[in-house]
Amino acid sequence: MSTYHSLNNEEAISLAKSIPGIFSESTVLNCREIGDGNLNLVFHVTSENSTESIIIKQAVPYAKVVGESWPLSLDRARIERQSLEIQHRLCPDLVPQVYSYSDDLAYTAMEDLSEYTIMRKGLIDGNIYPNFAEHIGQFLARTLFFTSDLGMNQQEKKELAGRFVNPDLCKITEDLIFEDPYRASANNNYSASIEDEAEALRNDIPLHLEVALLREKFLTHAQALLHGDLHTGSIFVTTESTKVIDPEFAFFGPMGFDIGAVIGNLLLNYVAQPGWNQNGEDLTIREDRLLEMAKDVWTNFESSFRTLWNNEILDEMFQTPGYQDHYLTELLRDTAGFAGCKMIRRIVGLSHVADIDGIQDDSVREAAQRKALAIGKNLVRHNRSVNSIYDILKLVQLASTEIGVSK
């Protein structure tokens, strides 16, 4: 019989005390539930003098953002924990350490990252993260390469994929990203001022064809173990350091979905900049920095991935000259398409981003929404003809020209 129930603060404290080596025996512990995400409870347990602390994350059996009418499997807590363990093994500096867990209670106790900032907030505040592109490029290259048929035993990969079947969370993505924005769905959420844009999305058949092709890839292309929800709210940063959290959407899917998530979210912050910075010169500097960062994410990923391929490839046929270049071009195209889908869903679908929704001025917010949609649609429409990261930047510029703004 399941022992599952949602934890209270006292239970979180006793769980924290039972983990060896974190808190000293005599310390009094405090606990606060700080979960502000869409799906889970998050307990922050600290010693009285705040020198030691941990996070206990517990899944609830429904989507918190909607309520009990949207049931969700608790198995996502196991999937998240096992992904964290794999990612931590592959990138120890870039992923928090798991201390303990219970699959019955659907919780994971892990390293506290309180001294870090959620990247989405840091970017809204205009902070600079000079190491981010290199770190995330490495995270993407190592986690994707070593869980794919390129860098892992192909029989073991099939076994592993069986442990990451994640139907409930994949269904959220299939609906929210690859269907709802293109039809009149009750899940959709946008202001009346952009009804024209929403209607255009519903009627754009050539766009639907591209989304259908990307949806099919998401459904069928079990290329590697993905994080599955790698937006800037799933990344903690300081100026020096980067930590990737929250892989509860993990499953074996197309690599470009993770890379596109990072780039799409940087572009969402890019379009939002006029809402957070009124000084023309600073605004241009910030916008340029974000485009540069989006470019650097890909270039860092690509060079790490090629190095891994050259040194660690296991499959002999995959060493055929030309195959690596072909693979990377396909991957870049997927990245462009998925980045575009991610941008579109955050404007008209369920669950938006603070970068844009937090803009106070209605007309500036609306301009950012329209620009996000223009870029997102361009990336989706033209994803299959992209040949370099500079083509992606050109599509971003083209969208800005199309909607009549200089950048």
Using the rule CB under 6 A, is 351 a contact of ligand SR1? Answer: yes
How many C-beta atoms lie closer than 10 Å to residue 118's C-beta?
A: 18
Render 28-59 in DSSP notation, one character per residue: -EEEEE---SSSEEEEEEEETTSSSEEEEEEE
Decide which of ligand SR1, Mg ion, none touches 259; Cβ closer than 5 to 8 Å per partner kind: none
Show the binding pattern over residues 51-70: x = contacts ligand SR1 (CB under 6 A), - = does not.
------------x-x-----
Contact yes or no for 395/374 (Cβ under 8 A)? no
- Tell me, by CB under 5 A, how many residues bind Mg ion: 1
Nearest CB to ligand SR1, comparing residues 63 and 262: 63
CB of 256 to ligand SR1, least distance (A): 16
Decide which of Mg ion, ligand SR1, none touches 176; Cβ closer than 5 to 8 Å per partner kind: ligand SR1
Nearest CB to ligand SR1, comparing residues 120 and 157: 120
CB of 332 to ligand SR1, least distance (A): 23
- Which of 222, 216, 218 has the alpha carbon at shortest distance from 162? 222
Using the rule CB under 6 A, is 38 a contact of ligand SR1? Answer: yes
Nearest CB to Mg ion, comparing residues 74 and 150: 74
Give the burial string for 297-336 (b: 16+ CB within 10 Å, else e): bbebbbebbbebbeeeeeeeeeeeeeebeebbebbbbbbb
Per CB under 6 A, contacts with ligand SR1 among 172-211 are 172, 176
Per CB under 6 A, contacts with ligand SR1 among 207-236 are 229
Decide which of Mg ion, ligand SR1, none touches 299; Cβ closer than 5 to 8 Å per partner kind: none
Decide which of ligand SR1, Mg ion, none touches 355; Cβ closer than 5 to 8 Å per partner kind: none
Contact yes or no for 356/268 (Cβ under 8 A)? yes
Decide which of ligand SR1, Mg ion, none touches 351; Cβ closer than 5 to 8 Å per partner kind: ligand SR1
Per CB under 5 A, contacts with Mg ion among 204-263 are 246
**At residue 143, what is the residue type?**
T
Decide which of Mg ion, ligand SR1, none touches 9; Cβ closer than 5 to 8 Å per partner kind: none
At 42, list the tokens: 């998050």
Angle at which helices 323-348 and 205-220 cross, to 10°: 120
Contacts of 306 (CB under 8 A, 6+ apart): 324, 328
- Which of 150, 383, 357 has the alpha carbon at shortest distance from 257? 383
CB of 63 to ligand SR1, least distance (A): 4
Using the rule CB under 5 A, is 80 a contact of Mg ion? Answer: no
How many C-beta atoms lie closer than 10 Å to residue 252's C-beta?
A: 22
- Which of 43, 50, 42, 41 has the alpha carbon at shortest distance from 23? 50
Give the separation between CA 98 and CA 194, rounded to whole angstroms.
43
Nearest CB to ligand SR1, comparing residues 258 and 296: 258
Nearest CB to ligand SR1, comparing residues 303 and 351: 351
Nearest CB to ligand SR1, comparing residues 36 and 159: 36
Nearest CB to ligand SR1, comparing residues 59 and 389: 59
State how far the alpha carbon of 246 is from the alpha carbons of 88, 111, 148, 231, 235, in Å: 12, 13, 21, 10, 8
- Tell me, by CB under 6 A, how many residues bind ligand SR1: 8
List interacting residues with Mg ion (CB under 5 A). 246
For ligand SR1, the binding residues (CB under 6 A) are 38-39, 63, 65, 172, 176, 229, 351
